[in-house]
Amino acid sequence: MELLDFLRNTWYILIGVLLMGYAILDGFDLGIGTLMPFLAKNDREKRTLFNAVGPFWDGNEVWLLTGGGALFASFPHAYATVFSGFYLALMLVLFALIFRAVSIEFYTYDESRKSFWAWAFTIGSFLPSLLYGVALGNVIVGIPLDAKLEFTGNFFTLLRSFPLVIGLVGLNAILLQGATYAAYKTDGAIRKRAKALAQKLWFSFIALFVLSGILAFAYVPGAAGSILAWLATLIVLAGWFLLHQASASGKELRAFLMSSLIFVGLWGIVGAIHFPNLVKATETVNSITTVNSSSELTLTVMLIIALIGMPLVFVYTYYAYKVFRGKVIFNTNEKA
């Protein structure tokens, strides 16, 4: 393998790892935010959930920023096409994330508008949870690009059956991640509701996953022939099955880890069936791939920077979760 091919493949994997890490880590606080109306029935319970995600949500989003920065630096054509073509959808995600971040603080201090900020947290969590998957589904199935690698469709071009189903699969996985995390970090009524919701989401996930697989055979030529995709599918199914076993036996941490394993498998499937594409075009000749979107010098310099920066992200993440491990105990005298 030539050095350039090695660099291209390495960056493809690194970006996948960063996005997978973001899906796992920010997935649980997006899930908790979306499920807030179903998990918390009073102010004390809402504050408990805010406290469960409070120490982590901003650190979790570092993974998204790192993944986006890595894509921009290593494959700039793909970054430019995605961010210009999905402009309206990404602006919705951006404003949702901003309101979500603000709501975490304002819920405590803006006493007269608590209900508004609680719903801002929920809606600001729901929109990204759905739209991330829709965007990914479009990238996989193909979007209209011209010879200049510019998006030629519109917002409604993105609302097709396959991307919408992928969006629902992603949403369900995030909700499952949130429910298992809430069951792990809380006690009492919230824990019981979270386990009950996780059970329902466990059933709905497998139904959506099977549907997405059927549609993939129709819309993504060659998907059925990827051995790596089938191995990743086994990881998804193993995580799905073991999650139920762990939850039934009261092992909430293990259930959360199995929910995380589902994300590992899902991203493995995406990487396997999508390679070497970065952004697939409806006209295959216009697709943006690892081959036509960067240079050897760029990939080499960025790999050196990544080898320095990525370990810092891993160390910080490990330290934060170690410090704030264990159940959330809400003190009525403290701010959320």
The reported pLDDT for the residue numbered 333 is: 45
Spatial distance between the Cα atoms of 40 and 52, rounded to a whole number of angstroms: 12
Give the helix ranges, DSSP H, for the chain. Answer: 3-39, 43-53, 57-74, 76-85, 87-109, 114-141, 161-185, 188-219, 227-248, 252-274, 296-323
In tens, the pLDDT along 288-298 reads: 998 887 778 88
Sign for the CA dihedral angle at 276, 228, 15, 297 comes to negative
214 Cβ contact list (under 8 Å, min separation 6): none
Spatial distance between the Cα atoms of 320 and 285, rounded to a whole number of angstroms: 45
User: With pLDDT > 90 as the criterion, what percentage of the chain qualifies?
Assistant: 56
Domain that holds residue 240: 3-323
pLDDT tier for residue 323 given thresholds of 50, 70 and 90: confident
- Cα angle 125, 129, 131 (rounded to 5 degrees) comes to 120
Q: Classify residue 331: in a domain, yes or no.
A: no
pLDDT tier for residue 30 given thresholds of 50, 70 and 90: very high
**Average confidence (pLDDT) over 228-240:** 96
**Average confidence (pLDDT) over 49-69:** 87
The reported pLDDT for the residue numbered 335 is: 47
The letter for the amino acid at 223 is: A
In the chain, the number of structural domains is 1
In tens, the pLDDT along 87-108 reads: 888 899 999 999 898 998 888 8
Q: Classify residue 124: in a domain, yes or no.
A: yes
In tens, the pLDDT along 157-166 reads: 888 999 999 9
Contact between residue 121 and residue 103 where contact means Cβ atoms under 8 Å apart: yes
Q: Mean pLDDT for the chain?
A: 90
Spatial distance between the Cα atoms of 183 and 264, rounded to a whole number of angstroms: 21
- Select the more confidently predicted residue: 77 or 133: 133
The reported pLDDT for the residue numbered 19 is: 93
The reported pLDDT for the residue numbered 336 is: 41
Spatial distance between the Cα atoms of 174 and 182, rounded to a whole number of angstroms: 12
DSSP state string for 323-335: HT-S-----TTS-
- Select the more confidently predicted residue: 124 or 56: 124
Q: Classify residue 329: in a domain, yes or no.
A: no
In tens, the pLDDT along 299-319 reads: 898 889 888 888 888 898 888
The reported pLDDT for the residue numbered 22 is: 94
The reported pLDDT for the residue numbered 169 is: 97
Q: Report the CATH number at residue 176.
A: 1.20.1630.10
- Residue 60 in tokens: 């979790």
| 21-35, 132-146, 303-317: the lowest-pLDDT one | 303-317
Q: Which residues of 149-179 are buried (b: 16+ CB within 10 A; e: fewer)?
A: bebeeeeeebebebbbbbbbbbbbbbbbbbb
Residue 174: pLDDT over 90: yes
In tens, the pLDDT along 246-265 reads: 999 999 999 999 999 999 99
Q: Classify residue 192: in a domain, yes or no.
A: yes
Q: Classify residue 122: in a domain, yes or no.
A: yes
The reported pLDDT for the residue numbered 330 is: 56
In tens, the pLDDT along 178-233 reads: 999 999 999 999 999 999 999 999 999 999 999 999 999 999 988 888 999 999 99
CA–CA distance from 16 to each of 53, 66, 166, 191, 229 (Å)? 24, 11, 17, 32, 14
pLDDT tier for residue 151 given thresholds of 50, 70 and 90: confident
Contact between residue 175 and residue 126 where contact means Cβ atoms under 8 Å apart: no
213 Cβ contact list (under 8 Å, min separation 6): 233
Largest CA distance in the chain: 63
CA–CA distance from 260 to each of 122, 202, 221, 242, 263 (Å)? 21, 13, 28, 11, 5
Spatial distance between the Cα atoms of 260 and 236, rounded to a whole number of angstroms: 10
Exposure on the CB side of residue 113, measured as CA atoms within 13 A? 12
The reported pLDDT for the residue numbered 301 is: 87
Q: Classify residue 335: in a domain, yes or no.
A: no
Of residues 125, 45, 52, the one with CA closest to residue 321 = 52
Peptide bond just before 276 cis, omega within 30 deg: yes
Q: Classify residue 43: in a domain, yes or no.
A: yes
Highest mean pLDDT among 8-12, 254-258, 280-284: 254-258
The reported pLDDT for the residue numbered 240 is: 97
